[in-house]
Amino acid sequence: MSSGYALTVRFTMRDATAARQFDELVAQTAVGIRTEPGTLVYVVHTPVSEPLVRVFYELYADQDAFQAHEEQAHTKRFLAARGQFLASTEVTVLNELGDLSKRPEAAG
């Protein structure tokens, strides 16, 4: 049974300047994302050995919440502006296999 709609997005920046500008755009966009009731988790990571890569992990209450996120003015602004900073984008939609944090620990 699925308990949300999740995806990862891997953005690779053109260069260090683009990465800094992209990070500023993300910070501006995050202000609006924090107000979205159906957005449960929205986290940005940088892989340790890849300073020009940003990996987003996004978890929404359901696919309708994701669609509502996509229709927000702050999201549309981000989507329109991000391309100038990027060398590539890779999106992966995820299926949940189970929430390991809620499983009982093995007796031992």
Residue 68 lies in a domain: yes
Residue 104 lies in a domain: no
Q: What is the pLDDT of residue 1?
A: 42
Q: Is the pLDDT score of 3 beyond 80?
A: no
Q: What is the pLDDT of residue 97?
A: 81
Q: Is the pLDDT score of 70 beyond 60?
A: yes
Average pLDDT over residues 17-37: 97
Calculate what percentage of the chain has a pLDDT beyond 70.
93
- Give Rg (Cα) of the chain: 16
Q: Is 4 left (phi over 0), alpha (psi -120 to 50) or beta?
A: left
At 34 the three-state DSSP class reads: coil
Average pLDDT over residues 46-66: 97
Residue 103 lies in a domain: no
Mean residue pLDDT across the chain: 92
Average pLDDT over residues 58-81: 97
Output the domain CATH number for residue 59: 3.30.70.100
Residue 33 lies in a domain: yes
Domain interval for residue 41: 5-96
Number of domain units in the chain: 1
